[in-house]
Amino acid sequence: MLAPISISLASLNIMTMAPMLIAIVGALAILCIDLVKEGLHKSFYVMVSLLFLLLDLGAIVDFGNIFLKSGTVLGMFDMMLIDGLAILSQIIIVAGSMLFIPLALTSKRFHEYNYPEYFALFLFMIAGFQFMVASDNLILIFVGLETASLALYTLIALHNRSKSFEAAVKYFTMGALAAGFFAFGSMIFYAITGSVEINQIALALAKDEYFNIGFVLVAVVFLLGAIGFKLSMVPFHTWTPDVYEGSSAALAGYMSIVPKIAGFVVAMRLFEFLVHSGVVWLQVVLYVAVVVTMTASNIWALVQNDVKRMLAYSSISHAGFVMAAILIGTTQANTALFLYWALFSFTNLGAFSMLWVSRQKNLIPGQSSDHPYEKFAGLVRTMPMAAIMIALFMLSLAGVPPFGLFWGKIYMIGAAVSAGYTMLALIMALNSAIAAYYYLKLIVFMFMKEPIAEYQKYYLMNASLSLKTIIGIAAIGTIFAVFAVNPLLKVITLFVYNSGY
């Protein structure tokens, strides 16, 4: 008979799960409230979700202080790993979600926000992402990934248009394949090292001096496929434009920010030790993937006729740009990744929100998609402020100084230069020039063309005070980023450096 396992509760350090548990409790609370009283207005759920996210954020910031005092915290049989990366990325995840959730308060009614389940799923999804980044256990990462993804598929489908169903099913199918890849890759690592924890895997591989390099490479291929899918790296990107087009603009903006930062953290944990141990093949593959992702998606974006699809390709390109940090692998590069993504969140949120406020329920005759460029023609005549806002976000995305993303860009290119990747730095710079063209295209339509009368009634149709507030926050974050860069850099460098990346 087995001896009873006795574990003291204190050794579990259950507090490490506090942030995720807050989100989960919030989701369950929303479901319970719905049982008691039905038909509450969406504003109630939005605010309740916001409150829980605020608590969540508080818990993470608390861990930040602990981390700075006493270093990395482990818990739950070392499954949970609260290091600097986990804290930084959770802050981005939760803060990004907090900026996103008020976008539900549109002036028009949308089907999905009438379901309390929408908000419950949303909180479950956030918990999933938090688990994903706060662990170096491949199984827990997998569980977090799937929790989050399944919730996300449902959120997309709830938008209740045929295109949304198509998008959700497409995303689900491809996602299932990626999940299979992830499981398979993890299995191979377990087979050759006997562990599913990344640091143990690294130790075991180093110990036998990469004796099983062939198997390692196979495992890396599978994991690269799985994570590449999440990050929409070329050639695993094909789902992205369709899914973005099918989901609401707000959710598309969310998908371009939050799931990706989770993916980046996993990629950082998984690939950086391999890059640093001189697995040349991985370096080459990553190099090619980064360059192709940046360049190819930029070229595809050039030929899009729909602003949302253009933004989808642009976000692929930005992901490729940031992926360079994982290839470079220095502290400066990893710092640049978080800085870039924090600034990108503001700008991209603003850009997608501007599409969201001019959402129309029915297409007018001859309109090919939700947001064709023509829709924004001559916007400066009819709504100068809206046009200036969109232009601001586009210029920031293009990397025109002094707006937000420029600072991320120079720090990232600076990291490439410092690490000796001169060609890569040049390619990154020139890609910004290609990208400028399609961002300019929208500006040209808004500022230099004549308005088209049929579209005029749709501008800002969907706007409400809370949406405008969010856009205002995004705009302020984009314009005054220059003053935030220094404190951000200091904090991020401290966290990244102390986590050993």
Phi, psi angles (nearest 5°) of residue 80: -85, 140
Residue 69 vs 483, nearer CB to other proteins: 483
Cα 128 from Cα 143, distance rounded (Å): 8
Cα 462 from Cα 339, distance rounded (Å): 31
Shortest Å distance, C-beta 436 to other proteins: 5
Phi, psi angles (nearest 5°) of residue 428: -65, -40
Residue 213 vs 303, nearer CB to other proteins: 303
Shortest Å distance, C-beta 373 to other proteins: 13
Residue 110 vs 495, nearer CB to other proteins: 495
Residue 138 vs 446, nearer CB to other proteins: 446
Shortest Å distance, C-beta 253 to other proteins: 24
Cα 148 from Cα 152, distance rounded (Å): 6
Shortest Å distance, C-beta 106 to other proteins: 28
Query: Would you state the structure tokens that stand for residue 103, as one six-digit string?
Result: 């976008």
- 3-state DSSP assignment of residue 39: coil
Residue 352 vs 403, nearer CB to other proteins: 403
Cα 130 from Cα 87, distance rounded (Å): 9
Residue 275 vs 429, nearer CB to other proteins: 429
Residue 218 vs 417, nearer CB to other proteins: 417
Residue 217 vs 489, nearer CB to other proteins: 489
Residue 63 vs 407, nearer CB to other proteins: 407
Shortest Å distance, C-beta 348 to other proteins: 20
Sort 7 into a burial class: Cβ within 10 Å, 0-12 / 13-18 / 19+.
exposed
Residue 11 vs 418, nearer CB to other proteins: 418
Residue 113 CA neighbour count, 13 Å, CB half: 21
Shortest Å distance, C-beta 414 to other proteins: 5
Cα 437 from Cα 313, distance rounded (Å): 13
Shortest Å distance, C-beta 330 to other proteins: 12
Angle in degrees, CA 343, 346, 352, rounded to 5: 135
Shortest Å distance, C-beta 287 to other proteins: 17
- 3-state DSSP assignment of residue 372: strand
Q: Cis link prior to 451 (omega < 30° from 0)?
A: no
Nearest to 405 by CA among 444, 434, 432, 440: 432
Contact residues toward other proteins (CB under 8 A) are: 380, 395, 400-402, 406-407, 410-411, 413-414, 417-418, 422, 425-426, 429-430, 432-433, 436-437, 440, 443-444, 447-448, 482-483, 485-486, 489-490, 493
CA distances from 58 to 62, 63, 94, 102, 225 (A): 6, 9, 10, 19, 35
Strand partners, 372: 306
Q: H helices within 210-257, ranges in order?
A: 213-230, 239-246, 249-255
Shortest Å distance, C-beta 441 to other proteins: 8
Shortest Å distance, C-beta 367 to other proteins: 22
Shortest Å distance, C-beta 419 to other proteins: 10
Cα 196 from Cα 352, distance rounded (Å): 38
Cα 116 from Cα 88, distance rounded (Å): 29
Strands 80-82 and 73-75: antiparallel
377 secondary structure, DSSP code: T
The helix-helix angle for 465-479 and 404-418 (nearest 10°) equals 40
Residue 100 vs 340, nearer CB to other proteins: 340
